[in-house]
A and B are shown apart, each in its own frame.
Chain A
Amino acid sequence: MSEKPEARIALQVDEKDNTATIFADDIRAGDTVEIRDPQGGRHTLTVLSDVPYGHKIALRDIARGEHIIKYGESIGAAQRDIPAGDYVHVHNIAALRGRGDL
């Protein structure tokens, strides 16, 4: 691997996605990342919390109960309102499959 400073990138897989996945180390609240969308577009977004490598952020405001979209498909539902740039993971979204209570 090269010694160049790692780009602070977040990848959006499908144009319908409301999340992007950060591939950069030590992202802290207030940092900006470069969102790369599937059409080749790039824009920056301010991250609202500390986010580990390989974890997701919201690309736009997501309301409680709304589907979380990645790969153009639902990967669960928001358990509370999630503002754009906030960390999206098991603390604020829930799977809708493989469970006996739904």
Chain B
Amino acid sequence: MGYTFSGYRRPDGRFGSRNLVAIIPSVICANDVGQAIQRQVQGTVGFFHHQGCCQLPSDLRRVTDTLISLGRSPNVAAALIVSLGCEGTDVDRLQAELEATGKPVRRIGIQALGGTSRAIQAGIDAAQELVMAVSGQARETADISNVVMSIKCGASDTTSGMASNCVIGYVADKLVDLGATVVFGETTEFLGGEHILAWRAVGGEDGPVGRKIYQIVDEMEKRAMALGEDMRGGQPTPGNIAGGLSSIEEKSLGAIVKSGHRPIQGVLEYPQFVTTEKGLWIKDTPGREPEILTAMAATGAQLMLFSTGRGAPQGFPSMPVLKICGNPHTFERLSHDMDVNAGRIITGEASIEEVGEETFQRLLEVLSGAMTHNEALSYFGSMDIFCLGPVI
């Protein structure tokens, strides 16, 4: 069909939908300096997470890996690493792996520079130079197969599984058929529907991918129970229940609708960046927004389709998030936060295919530079990296 978008070509051949300079604090303790730099310099975004020190080694590796993947995203043109100087994150590896992408990378250290004010000054100078170096880059035509789309549902109600997730499933199938990559997650919301996903795994339910799907659900269920509690009271959320979702199974069965119908190629780890993977993939993530949006941006996704019924307003600093709203009342009430009205499916005014095609067109526009509602409002300040172990 020859679908294309206009993107920024990166040294590794990928195409970004945005041309951002990423401020990357290596640790939570560097956030205040990073935020001062980010506020001052146009064209920057910050990954202001809360990890990077006093954690188990496996979690520190995960934090370093995730920050590397965030910086590798094609939406990131250049990076400024803001280090404190005594953190547990491997800042040398972060810097080396980002430099290996061929993108401009700068690094400042708060302790080495003599404190907060000197670090802010040096950081503003560095970020300004990076923005001015990359801001003149022009967009180029890219084939749709270069797209990595992430998908997610949040603040769900019963319209999500019956309208907005159906629309995302339609777009997911279309992108997979066009040779692109689609990634979905929220392992918590496979509970009760994991057999359906396992049946769709390449190699079937008993193959390695099918078994891995059962395994990640089992591990997640056991993590919750290891604390002597079960998930009721936390999942579904009070808002889900007020919206008519009666159990985690109902929430899950509605949630997996957004993955469409294509075979599942494999399971990605939380920090994993996709390189050659095409088709539909699962990423093992929790359902909460700040952590899963980080994981999806770290996948290298140029954008996200986000389904909601009750109205989730947030996005992510380096990844445009297009809101597909299944509830017609919410779409009217939150018209400045929602992008596509899938509530017309509930009222019978439009079909899944009609809203799906409309969403696909919006997706191409957003990939080419059109802002989503949350982007225009800069509603993307909360992000975090999901870690498994305790803070020690």
Contact = CB atoms under 8 A, between A and B. Distances in A.
Contact of A54 (B221, B231, B257, B327): B327
| Highest count of chain B CB atoms <10 Å: which of A6, A21, A95 | A95
B332 interface: yes
A71 B253 contact: yes
Contact of B158 (A9, A54, A101): A54
Given A23-B347, A98-B224, A56 B158 contact: yes
B249 A73 contact: yes
Interface stretch (B113-121, B188-196, B361-369): B188-196
A99 interface: yes
A76 interface: yes
A42 to B, nearest CB: 11
A52 B243 CA distance: 8
Nearest to A88: B246
A98 B246 contact: no
A73 B255 CA distance: 13
A44 interface: no
Contacts of B328: 1
B250 interface: yes
B162 A11 contact: yes
A68 B250 CA distance: 10
A76 B348 contact: no
B198 interface: no
Contacts of A56: 158, 244, 246
Nearest to B227: A100
A67 to B, nearest CB: 10
A70 B250 contact: yes
Given A7-B348, A98-B232, A100-B230, A55 B158 contact: yes
A76 B249 contact: yes
Nearest to A98: B231
A75 B244 CA distance: 13
Nearest to B188: A98
Interface string B224-241: 110011111001000001
B158 A21 contact: yes
A70 B230 contact: no
Given A21-B158, A54-B158, A75 B253 contact: yes
Contacts of A23: 159, 346-347
Nearest to B253: A71
A52 B327 CA distance: 13
Given A1-B328, A21-B244, A23-B159, A99 B232 contact: yes
B247 A76 contact: yes
B173 interface: no
Given A21-B244, A54-B327, A98 B346 contact: no
A74 B250 CA distance: 8
B247 A99 contact: no
B317 interface: no
A13 B243 CA distance: 17
A45 interface: no
A73 B195 CA distance: 11
Interface string A80-94: 000000001110011
13 contacts: A21-B162, A54-B309, A71-B253, A73-B249, A75-B246, A75-B247, A76-B246, A76-B247, A90-B247, A95-B192, A97-B249, A98-B221, A100-B228
Interface of A: 1, 6-7, 9, 11, 13, 21, 23, 52-56, 68, 70-71, 73-76, 88-90, 93-101
Interface of B: 157-159, 161-162, 191-193, 196, 221, 224-225, 228-232, 235, 241, 243-244, 246-250, 253-254, 257, 309, 327-329, 332, 346-348
Given A73-B193, A73-B196, A99-B232, 14 more contacts: A1-B332, A23-B346, A52-B244, A54-B327, A71-B254, A75-B192, A75-B246, A75-B247, A89-B244, A96-B247, A97-B191, A97-B248, A97-B249, A99-B231
